[in-house]
Amino acid sequence: MEESALQSRIVMLVDLDYFFAQCEELRNPSIKDKPVVVCVYSGRTEDSGAVSTANYVARAYGVKSGMPIFLAKKKLENTSAVFLPVDYEFYEEISGKVMSILKGFADHFEQVGIDEAYLDVTQRTGGSFEEGRKQAENVKSGVLRQEKLTCTVGVGPNKLIAKISADAKKPDGLTVVTPDQVTAFLGPLHVSRVIGVGAKTTKRMEALRINTISDLSKYDVQGLTAVFGKTLATYFHNASVGIDDEPVQERGEATSISRIATLKHNSRELNFITEKTDELCREIHSTTTKDGLAFKTVGIVVIATDMSIHTRSKTLENATHDLDTLREIVKELLEKFFNQTEVEARRVGVRISNFAKEQKSQRQLLTFMKEHED
């Protein structure tokens, strides 16, 4: 079947359940029924550090990723809880095996992190969501049979819906959201469920009385633009109505390198700002030298005092790896930007990309947003 003849794409998000803890259960099945907490010990005192993840037995006691270890111990007092240090190498090895199984189920495959991957299954399902559900069941039983691991799968018409639907039911879940269910599915959910809306953005939205995704979809786009800038406002609006065109694509080697920093004080003064961006350029350049990379596109990001995000970029005719060229283009982009706008900068960033293939602009946006949220 030709892709153009299909009504909708079918995208799956596969997320392994309580991954690090499930790996630990795998090599020691006797702990399976106990609370299992995988920890990153900082080494300062015996219990200092944070919880990396916990199995669902431990989660029932309120243990969560990121929680201080002493607090998890308190919550699990008088239980037979098992606390273990992270063993990334072991998890990576298992992840590799699972990912190669998942690849076999996809027309296009994209791993996003150690325990998650997107699978575009449009072609092999002929665009049928019923068939999509069957494939998702096959993925789950295949991973369980071959690697003895459970996972949660979300199926939707794009990556955004696939991801949000996977979050709907965990662990060992399967949620399918067809195009005509998208509005009803998204509407009642809290805005923080939109990918890229972190704690800070959530607060700013709540201040606008945007609580649910339905509220977001009804909010005037111009009003959103005034607060978040045009690029983000457009992204948020599209997301709220379930639109997402980002393709599922294999991530090769790094497709872009970026650095972002907060200025000592808010400014529009070019010399002061380029002092900072020169530093960022040097850092980026040292990475490219290490990796032997030449780049064609140079971008800047300016986060304004009102937290709006602005980006500009320039693509060269020929790839370069020259530091002075990088610094000059950044300066030129900044100069032009500040001439065209009234913006006062709070944070500035530099990005290089286009090493081999064109980078999708939305991915850049989401990466910037992540850095922005941190």
Which residues in this chain contact ligand TTP in the complex, by CB under 6 A?
15-20, 52-53, 65-66, 114-115, 170-171
Minimum CB distance to Mg ion, residue 153 (Å): 11
Minimum CB distance to Mg ion, residue 167 (Å): 10
Report the partner that residue 65 touches, choosing among Mg ion, ligand TTP, none (CB closer than 5 to 8 A by kind).
ligand TTP
Own/partner contacts of 335-344, CB < 8 Å, gap of 24 or more, are: 335/270, 336/312, 337/300, 337/302, 337/310, 337/312, 338/268, 338/270, 341/310, 343/268, 343/302, 343/304, 343/308, 343/310, 344/266, 344/267, 344/268, 344/304, 344/305
Contact (Cβ atoms closer than 8 angstroms) between residue 11 and residue 118? yes
Give the nearer residue to Mg ion in terms of CB position, either 171 or 247.
171
List the structure tokens of 34: 């106990």
List the structure tokens of 370: 């992540």
φ, ψ of residue 14 in degrees (nearest 5): -110, 125
Give the nearer residue to ligand TTP in terms of CB position, either 142 or 171.
171
Helix axes 230-240, 221-228, angle to 10 degrees: 130
Give the nearer residue to ligand TTP in terms of CB position, either 194 or 210.
194
Tell me, rounded to whole angstroms, the distance of Cα 181 from its chain centroid.
24
Q: For residue 116, indicate whether it is catalytic.
A: yes
From 24, 25, 110, 116, the catalytic residue: 116
List the structure tokens of 229: 């800038």
Give the nearer residue to ligand TTP in terms of CB position, either 52 or 165.
52
Contact (Cβ atoms closer than 8 angstroms) between residue 71 and residue 77? no
Residue 253 zone, left/alpha/beta (φ > 0; ψ -120 to 50; rest)? beta
243-282 positions binding Mg ion, by CB under 5 A: none
Minimum CB distance to ligand TTP, residue 114 (Å): 6
Give the nearer residue to ligand TTP in terms of CB position, either 110 or 115.
115
User: Which of 15, 25, 120, 244 touches Mg ion (CB under 5 A)?
Assistant: 15
User: Which of 19, 91, 185, 368 touches Mg ion (CB under 5 A)?
Assistant: 19
By CB under 5 A, tell whether 115 contacts Mg ion. Answer: yes
The residue range among 75-83, 107-115, 117-125, 266-274 that interacts with Mg ion, by the rule CB under 5 A, is 107-115
Q: Which residues bind Mg ion (CB under 5 A)?
A: 15-16, 19, 115
Q: Which residues are catalytic?
A: 116
